[in-house]
Structure 1
């Protein structure tokens, strides 16, 4: 009895809105009874059978994954529901009765929460613009955790300029990955960032899949958006942006916990990497816009 709808079918004969095999729904969103929203980086997969900071329960020797997800209640749930409904209707899903999906909401908690969705049909990515604005306004600290880091020139400039203003900019990136092309493309930016004073850490012992940011201890975001060209130009993505010191402190504590299981990349050590690795990075960099 589950109502299943395939997003942007690969079969051109089944397409509903112009055939574009590159366009995909990358959102991870679950809404229960119109009252509770789950949003973040977690997919529905057995790789999440254990906690992000514990030992894997898998008996198959699978790589443990490290991810971040949110459970939200309150008026913002309606905003996430609207984003789900908009995609459902665009993809010509069965008619859903609005009255069944938008119950009356009451305020919960003290944080200000905003739901942000982005789509390739829009003239620009709202999540990308919002994050750039937050980084450009940072005064003390920028802590970014991301699984697939292939930045464009504006994001690179924002990070380097933040360091010049005296901001402590730290990136937490994966030591292992499920996409070698993205992995080497990401590492091709390390030397430029390290020379600018950006601190780069690589998470050990787990495959990092989280997509989060915390700025100045008060501005945070958790969602599905990677810091790469594909997320900003081809994917439907969804994030929650939260304003509040209490949640900011939770985010900072989680970031510091990750750093305990991470390796700090130094410029001298990085420059000592092999020629073969450098060649892989240069080759992957050529494909940056399509990753």
Structure 2
């Protein structure tokens, strides 16, 4: 009798293993094949020109916010700020290519350190695995924090230690702070459509605090200096129209998702979102559908084809629900749109590093700036409308008429949604 029960348990375990293999193994294998094929097809493919606006500065509170939609413009101003630094530079990025643009930033940072400026650098090691080790070597006068590929150590069970550092920040003295979606690299200068902002005024202190907190949380205790004295020196002035929201997985803090839900749920006029990778959870889908049902003009702008084909396919699994509710979906043509922005009701905006996907909203270190200002919201609306002029709208009839193999692929990839 006992032997029969053991056999039953063994059969059950075998059935569970096989089921899990089918449910997760097949989609994972398909995702790998799709990524390889897409990478092969994309070799040598260049984006086409796309419309952009010149940098535009808007007074907000006691400072200004300058908006950038073209990488070359942004990099010129970032490098000029680094070259003009007098006391301190805080530089943090996710991807830092070892190409011509990457070298310009590296040389500028080293030159600043050579003339006596305190230079602190943070970059994500996993995002730069393919970058030459030579490029990632710095002289000792540049203080560098390499966020590790694997940060859990022996605490492999601690999910708080697995998030990537997806933030992009530059703070120079107390004069200017930059934050947004742009990584550092030649292709991003002219071939990708992204959005970044330059902030002056009291908001700069909040960016400094964000950098210092990350540095102190992850620095090597006996080899890297603490930035705690910097925190003690910081201004306590509040800028009531600007708030920075930081996702900190080590502390289980994920305010950016709540920020989006609150703003969407309060919308009465319009909700315009631009996102590189749009893979919302059901709460966010429901919030967007509810807004559309109460007459809000809800629009979502995404790439026609992003640099992550699997994310594209999985995001399409949400289109039916959104289109049925009256949400309008636009697909940016000819180039990768990598922005992470939103504008609501002509008064509320956000620009930052967080995509609307699970990795950004409940996994990675991210930072978004939330701005309550009508003039700045107008700028974001102008940018959205310009991007929309370069986009194709997806209609319900077009979506329902898609091929059977496309519907099948979306269905097979559905189990991967919780992981992206």
**Normalising to structure 2: TM-score of the pair?**
0.62
Match of 1:78 in 2: 205
Structure 1 residue 208: Cα displacement: 1.1
CA contact (8 A) 2:150 2:162 kept: no
With over 3 angstroms needed to count, the CA separation of the structure-2 counterparts of 1:186 and 1:77, relative to structure 1, is same
> Which residue in the other structure is 2:78 paired with?
none
1:37-81 deviation per Cα after TM superposition (whole angstroms, max 9, x unaligned): 10010001111222xxxxxxxxxxxxx211000000111111111
User: Following TM superposition, by how much is the alpha carbon of 1:117 offset from its aligned partner in structure 2, in angstroms?
Assistant: 0.6
Matched residue, 1:39:
179
Matched, 1:280 2:409: yes
Say if 2:256 and 2:368, in contact at 8 Å, map to a contact too. Answer: yes
Q: Is 1:23 aligned to residue 150 of structure 2?
A: no
Whether the 8 Å contact between 2:181 and 2:195 is mirrored in structure 1 is: yes
Q: Residues 275 and 48 from structure 1, CA distance in 2 versus in 1: closer, same or farther, beyond 3 angstroms?
A: same
Q: Which residue of 1 aligns with 2:336?
A: 207
Which of 240, 243, 249 aligns to 1:120? It is 249
Return the offset for 1:14.
9.8
The 8 Å contact of residues 212 and 227 in structure 2, kept in 1 or not, is answered as: no
1:11: how far off? Answer: 7.2
For residues 216 and 120 of structure 1, do their structure 2 counterparts lie closer, same or farther at Cα, with a shift above 3 Å needed?
same
Alpha-carbon contact 2:242-2:369 (below 8 Å) kept: yes
Report the CA distance shift for 1:75/1:20 in structure 2 as closer, same or farther (over 3 A): closer
Larger radius of gyration: 2
Q: Which residue, out of 234, 257, 260, partners 2:386?
A: 257
Aligned equivalents of 2:255, 2:151: Cα separation in 1: 29
Q: CA deviation at 1:123?
A: 4.2
Q: Distance in 2 between matches of 1:262 and 1:84?
A: 36
Contact residue 41 and residue 223 of structure 1 kept, 8 A: yes
Residue 173 to residue 104, structure 1, CA distance change in 2 (3 Å): same
* 1:127/1:239 contact within 8 Å kept: yes
**C-alpha distance in 1 between matches for 2:371 and 2:227:** 30
* Cα displacement (A) at 1:176: 1.1
What SS class does the counterpart of residue 244 from structure 2 fall into?
strand
Deviation at 1:4, TM superposition (A): 1.4
CA shift for structure 1 position 280: 1.9
Partner Cα distance (2:349, 2:151) in 1: 39
Does 2:273 correspond to 1:148? Answer: no
TM superposition shift of 1:32: 1.0
The aligned residue for residue 137 of structure 1 is: 266
- Equivalent residue for 1:95, pick from 225, 249, 255: 225
| 1:66 to 2:193 alignment | yes
Paired with 2:268 and 2:160, the residues of 1 have a C-alpha distance of: 41
Aligned partner of residue 145 in structure 2, secondary structure:
coil
Q: Name the structure where helix makes up a greater proportion of residues.
A: 2
Using CA pairs below 8 Å that are at least 6 residues apart, which structure has the higher relative contact order? 1
2:356 aligns with 227
Give 3-state SS (helix, strand or coil) of 1:74's partner: coil
Asked if the contact 2:300/2:328 (under 8 Å) is kept, the reply is yes
Is residue 8–residue 23 contact of structure 1 (8 Å, CA) maintained in 2?
no
Q: Compared with structure 1, are the counterparts of its residues 281 and 21 closer, same or farther at alpha carbon in structure 2 (3 Å cutoff)?
A: farther
CA offset digits 1:80-132 (Å, max 9, x no partner):
11111111111124224555575669899xx8111111122344520110110
Q: How far 1:169 sits from its partner (Å)?
A: 0.3
Distance change in 2, residues 1:272/1:19 (3 Å): closer
Q: Distance in 1 between matches of 2:263 and 2:251?
A: 21
Residue number in structure 1 paired with 2:102:
none
Q: Which runs of 4+ in 1 moved over 3 A?
A: 11-15, 17-22, 96-108, 121-124
- Deviation at residue 28 of structure 1 after TM alignment: 1.0
Give how far 1:194 is off: 0.4
